[in-house]
Amino acid sequence: MSKHKVTKIGVLTSGGDSPGMNAAIRAVVRTGIYHGLEVFGIRRGYSGMIDNDIFLMDSKSVANIIQRGGTILKTARSDEFRTPEGRAIAYKNLKRLGIDGLVIIGGDGSFKGAQTFSNEYDIPCIGLPGTIDKDIAGSDVTIGFDTAVNTAVEAIDKIRDTMDAHDRLFIVEVMGRDAGYIALHSGIATGAENIIIPETKTDIEELIANLTEKEKRKKLVNLIVVAEGGQFGDANELAKIVKGRLPNADVRVCILGHIQRGGSPTCEDRLIASHMGYYAVESLLIGRHNVMVGVINNKIHYTPLNHAVKQKQTIGQEWMKIVKILAS
């Protein structure tokens, strides 16, 4: 805990956007105003901090945004902020306005920047995990994950209709960078026959044998959900391998892409974002600094920023066993 008294705070969104960021911004602004703080919005993440694209927000600034995807503050990645010179400019802009606390909504890269900046200039920072990938340790949930998964499930359900109509093998690629949570959750929820994620090495011979056995049983409709950036590169590369080994299979590929990042956030994401945003401001007020606000076992949990950026969520092998059994 710190005795640093916060009077003016800034809020920014950084890195990839995720549904629910606006709900988090709204919670930070209104909780801050309730406690008599001045709350400043910083546009385009750390780039806006360097460019002095900073403005005073009021309650009306966040009216009618809780249901909107994206982020009203915009977001960007800043190479300049990675330099000491860039951070020095950012600090001067904050100091000129009297901003003495920050709430950063983003992923691990955003938290690394916050940790470095806070260490250099003694600006207390609170991180909120805003990422569809759910790849940050210290929280069972992240802002945007539930919406992204539901978007993927809705799309895959529709793809299944045309799979069934044509007896096709579909390979659907979902987002997640180097994390397989979206693939795992959406794959299980849509009854995928195979799920390929970065956390587990896939035996291609076993995969082909599995598909061959299903072909012999006249099960010609098969769904493979694969996370982007896995061992096969992308879904198209995997499709080439499968087509080469199963010439009779009608193989199609669908890459869902950035559709998973957009759209109105689910109720779950709005609640998570509102909850975390409220506790971010409360943390600054009581002197709990340089932590990420997360949720573990349905309770608010605080993880030091340096721990949050060093560790990753892990996927238990029992999940893959479940997938294998349910798809048999």
Please check the confidence at residue 173 and state whether its pLDDT lies above 60. yes
Q: How many residues are present in the chain?
A: 328
* % of the chain residues with pLDDT over 70: 96
Which tokens is 96 given?
């000129």
Consult the annotation and say whether 257 binds a ligand.
Answer: no
Closest Cα to residue 194, out of 178, 170, 217, 175? 170
Distance in angstroms (rounded) separating the CA atoms of residues 215 and 50? 58
What digits encode the pLDDT tens for the residues 195-228? 999 888 888 998 898 888 887 777 667 899 999 9
Side chain identity, residue 50: I
Within this chain, domains 8-144+265-310 and 146-261 share the same CATH topology: yes
Consult the annotation and say whether 230 binds a ligand.
Answer: no
Q: pTM for this structure?
A: 0.93
Buried b (16+ CB within 10 A) or exposed e, 228-244: bbbebeebeebbeebee
End-to-end Cα distance, the chain: 53
Distance in angstroms (rounded) separating the CA atoms of residues 112 and 249? 46
Distance in angstroms (rounded) separating the CA atoms of residues 99 and 38? 9
Measure Cα distances from 233 to 101, 172, 227, 229, 242 in Å: 41, 13, 10, 5, 14
Burial of residue 75 (number of CB atoms within 10 Å: 0-12, 13-18, 19+): buried
Please check the confidence at residue 311 and state whether its pLDDT lies above 70. no
Consult the annotation and say whether 283 binds a ligand.
Answer: no
| 3-state secondary structure at position 209 | helix
Which tokens is 80 given?
């300049």
Q: What is the pLDDT of residue 313?
A: 67
Distance in angstroms (rounded) separating the CA atoms of residues 122 and 69? 33
164 in active site: no
Sign of CA dihedral 233, 239, 240, 244: positive
Consult the annotation and say whether 228 binds a ligand.
Answer: yes
* % of the chain residues with pLDDT over 90: 73
Non-local CB neighbours of 65 within 8 Å, separated by 6+ positions: 22, 23, 25, 26, 72
Consult the annotation and say whether 131 binds a ligand.
Answer: yes
CATH number of the 8-144+265-310 domain? 3.40.50.450
Consult the annotation and say whether 107 binds a ligand.
Answer: yes
Please check the confidence at residue 259 and state whether its pLDDT lies above 80. yes
Query: Beta-strand (E) ranges in the chain?
Result: 8-13, 38-42, 54-57, 101-106, 125-129, 169-174, 194-196, 222-227, 251-255, 291-296, 299-304
Closest Cα to residue 233, out of 194, 264, 202? 202
Instruction: Exactly one of 53, 58, 122, 133 is catalytic; name it.
Output: 133
Q: What is the pLDDT of residue 252?
A: 94
The residue assigned the tokens 């849509």 is 190
Residue ranges covered by each domain of the chain: 8-144+265-310, 146-261
More confident residue, 316 or 319: 319
Fold of 146-261: Rossmann fold (3.40.50)
Closest Cα to residue 140, out of 180, 191, 112, 181? 181
Mean pLDDT across 288-315:
87
